[in-house]
Amino acid sequence: GKNALIITGGWLNEILFEKKKKRRRLKLRRLGRRPPPTNPQDEQPMNDLEKELRQIDFVDMACECEAVICCRVTPKQKANVVSLVKKYKKAVTLSIGDGANDVNMIKTA
């Protein structure tokens, strides 16, 4: 059988935050420094570069999955997931929906 991992908004933030911390630790290690302790709640608003890196982290994580199911998100957010995969992976995408609120996502794919 297949395994499923369900990630809610809070968990997604934690996962992406951990990836960001790991990237920061690796960068500082190359520079010979120690990273300061961090907390996701202490994070400052993201600049454009940080936002793009977070999007890339999300796409990388999503592409490690056989399927990504978006539920309890807005139609625009569903379309954004498809757009991000197309943008960063230059991949052909398939979207399946069961209602009128899925039209944007399907058109984007």
Enter the pTM of the model: 0.61
Question: What is the residue-averaged pLDDT of the chain?
Answer: 77
Predicted local distance difference test score (pLDDT) of residue 45: 65
**Cβ(61)–Cβ(53) under 8 Å?**
no
Q: How far apart are CA 98 and CA 109, in angstroms?
A: 15
pLDDT one-digit tens code per residue, 86-105: 999 988 888 888 888 888 88
Structure tokens at 30: 């190359």
Exposed/middle/buried for 4, CB within 10 Å: 0-12, 13-18, 19+? exposed
Q: Check whether 37 has a pLDDT greater than 70.
A: no
Q: Tell me, what's the pLDDT at 25? A: 75
**Summary count for the chain: helices (H), strands (E):** 4, 0
